[in-house]
Amino acid sequence: MPIFVMAAAVCCFLYRIIKINSGIMPVLELGFFYTLLVVFYFTFPLIVYLGNGNEFLLISDSRLRTAAPSPDEMSQIAWYYVLYMMGFTVFYTLVRGKEGYSLKAIPAQKIENMRFVVTVACYVVVSAIILAVNQAYHLGDAENYAETYFVFWELPTFVRQVYYHAGSCKITIQIVLIVMMMRNLKKYRYIIYGLVLFEFMTTITTLHARSSLVFTMFSVLLAYNYFVKRLKVKYILGFFATLLSVFIILGQLRSGGEVLSSSLLGFFSHNEFEAVFGTLFHYNQQVQIGDAMEVSVLRAWLNDVQNIIPQQLLPFQKIDISHTYSVTYIAGLADQGGGYPGGTLLEAIIGLGLIDSLLKGAVIGSIFGYIFRKCMLEKRSFWKALIYIWVTVLSYKTFARGTFYLVPQFLYDFVVPIVIIAGISAILNGAVKAGRKKTTGLFVP
């Protein structure tokens, strides 16, 4: 039943959006893309479960494989996805507006040299900070991804904050550079190719973080579609199929490679989509036996928002709900560098249950609908493009990490670097103009 209800809700929503856009499938529209993303999180574990005769594979998430859930037990978690999606699609449609949009090619625009130079300089500085922390705390010596995760959580609080925000700011600065260069693609295309190639080679070589490669490639796609040419649906779908395959394969390889399977079901197993479902299923079991985490409903809703305030300024210890779950229920996992994602639906189970899932979907649907209307249906600009691309690229975090996970990240890792870039550029431009006037004045009788 939840599968049929999910299919009906998604199909009605997609049909509505396609109809608004004169029959064109707007795959890269924020709400459209996010809906497909949640469907992936919903579908992948179910494909393995149903395709293997209502059982999980030996290479599946150990919590799901060990529990051997019945269809009724699986449906308890599936309904959380369904109600979340129903809340999202309804409120996104209401807030988004009833207008279609067209992306016409924008003429090549000259990049302000000073802003470009300052952005590159900021990118170099942030990369240097990340490299310095890696060297000082030997993060690069970790033998696998799990060990890197463990070392990260063992860092001093301030160092961990700096390292985390430096990595997030680097993503923002990359998007700024990509948007700048995409506005004059003919001139800067080889630099863009080089950036993508660099991220690809780095990811393949280290097998640690896939996110940087995915963010870079997706940003390039969005910026191209926004500033250069509206891509055909078949090319976009082909791009995502390739990117998703790379994401899954790299995730399996960084786990040691032994989880790779020659079967088709093996390809759909042992990935983040299954890990999120496994967390929800396992924690729901703990709740049913009376072993729930002591986290209030209010904190489950506002936990991400409180991250706006640095830990040093708070009289209490902040928590990461997914990390707390891993430490509490999976013995020794955190000590080995492991951790499981839970995201917004884990917060819902902690909170008001299914009604909480519906409310969270409605809230995110309203926010994303507003962002789309402001950035895409009203007059477009460089800054709106940055916001839209940034939110779209990182939108998965609102589902897989936390409802308001992007709120503090937007303030610290988007607004701060943008203000720094704009401020330094303005100061340097002012200094250059003042210098020119002073020099010119020397020759005035």
Q: What tens digit of pLDDT does each residue of 26-79 get?
A: 888 999 999 999 999 999 899 888 988 888 888 788 888 888 999 999 999 999
Contacts of 71 (CB under 8 A, 6+ apart): 54
First to last CA, the chain: 88
pLDDT at 189 over 80: yes
CB atoms < 10 A from the CB of 77, how many? 24
**Residue 443, token pair as written in the block:** 């020759």
Single-letter amino acid, residue 393: V
CB within 8 A of 48, min separation 6: which ones? 56, 57, 60, 265, 268, 269, 274
Question: What percent of the chain clears pLDDT 70, i.e. is strictly above it?
Answer: 81
- Region 328-353 average pLDDT: 78
Q: Which range, of 254-268, 297-311, 312-326, 425-439, averages the lowest pLDDT?
A: 254-268
Task: Give the pTM.
Answer: 0.85
Check whether 132 has a pLDDT greater than 90.
no
pLDDT at 256 over 70: no
pLDDT value, residue 79: 96
User: Over 80: is that where the pLDDT of 204 sits?
Assistant: no
**Contact between 425 and 114 (Cβ < 8 Å):** yes
pLDDT in tens, 78-109: 999 999 999 999 999 999 988 876 655 455 55
Q: What's the pLDDT band for 305 if we cut at 50, 70, 90?
A: confident
**Structure letter (DSSP) for residue 353:** T
